[in-house]
Amino acid sequence: MQYIGNQKLLYNTTTQEQFAANTLHCTRQLHYSLSNENSIDIVLFVNGIPVVSMELKCQFTGQSVANAIEQYKFDRRGKMQSLCLKNVCLFILQ
């Protein structure tokens, strides 16, 4: 049995095997549209499914978290975007 601090970790062999079988991937500058050059700075995938997207901003160039929020709200607002990878497409309605 493994512990974190004084807490016993409760998991079984099947859970460990399933967790180990996951494929994690990070993609930089993912272009998601065929009609323009829009891209997402970083996308994290679990087993090929995009689960997190991030916009990077640099405080030294005057950018802030507020700029990233505005970009998500207005640059992609009201549009249906598709993220196509091999034979699978994910459509994001905002």
High-pLDDT (> 70) share of the chain, % = 67
In a domain, 40, yes or no: yes
Domains identified in the chain, total number: 1
Quote the mean pLDDT of the chain.
Answer: 76
In a domain, 16, yes or no: no
In a domain, 3, yes or no: no
d(CA 39, CA 67): 15
In a domain, 1, yes or no: no
16-41 average pLDDT score:
84
5-33 average pLDDT score:
81
In a domain, 62, yes or no: yes
Domain region containing 80: 25-93
